[in-house]
Amino acid sequence: MKKHIRIYKQILRLRCKPNITTLEKEMICRCKSIRNIAKKIKIPQHDLPATIVGGIYNRSYKIDECKDLIEPIAEPLKIRLLNLGSIGSDNGVNKIGRCAENLTANYLMLFKKAKKIEDIEFTKAYRPRTARVIKRCDNCINIFGEHGI
């Protein structure tokens, strides 16, 4: 019961005042709940999202997972992705556009009026299966810069 209250308070804190610290905490909770739900409804581990990442712009936040990035894609993001090669193709690092960072950024740019990629603050990327932190890949460093700089 106490645990539930704690989680509830955390969600409230996030609702009232999302910032990178509250969102980072929410990421850990999200990893846990993804694992719990998967166990309950018996989703195989390999069908869980490989990575999730949170982003904040102004007072809006978004948590998304890695999956194919589809149109519409915000122009500034698209320009940087196309610098790496065609979207959806593999440039030897990763499939271009498939990382969670792109999905999160695209949402904040399209629907929450973030104009520049630099205005979005990201959490670390997590693997819900293990709650491990995943290092930002070279494609994402190219687009979003090193994490935390």
The site for Zn ion (CB under 5 A) is made up of 99, 137, 139-140
CB of 144 to Zn ion, least distance (A): 8
Considering the complex, state which of residue 14 and residue 77 has its C-beta at the smaller distance from Zn ion. Answer: 77
Please tell me the distance from the alpha carbon of residue 141 to that of residue 47, in angstroms, as a whole number.
Answer: 26
CB 117 within 8 A of CB 143: yes
Please tell me the distance from the alpha carbon of residue 16 to that of residue 10, in angstroms, as a whole number.
Answer: 10
Question: Which structure tokens are listed for 96?
Answer: 């271009």
Strand partners, 53: 64, 125
Considering the complex, state which of residue 56 and residue 140 has its C-beta at the smaller distance from Zn ion. Answer: 140
Dihedral angle computed from the Cα positions of residues 101, 96, 98 and 20, in that order, rounded to the nearest 10 degrees:
0
CB of 61 to Zn ion, least distance (A): 19
Considering the complex, state which of residue 30 and residue 98 has its C-beta at the smaller distance from Zn ion. Answer: 98
**What residue number has its CB nearest to Zn ion?**
99
Considering the complex, state which of residue 22 and residue 51 has its C-beta at the smaller distance from Zn ion. Answer: 51
CB of 41 to Zn ion, least distance (A): 28
CB of 11 to Zn ion, least distance (A): 27
Query: Would you give the distance in Å from CA 98 to the centre of its chain?
Result: 11
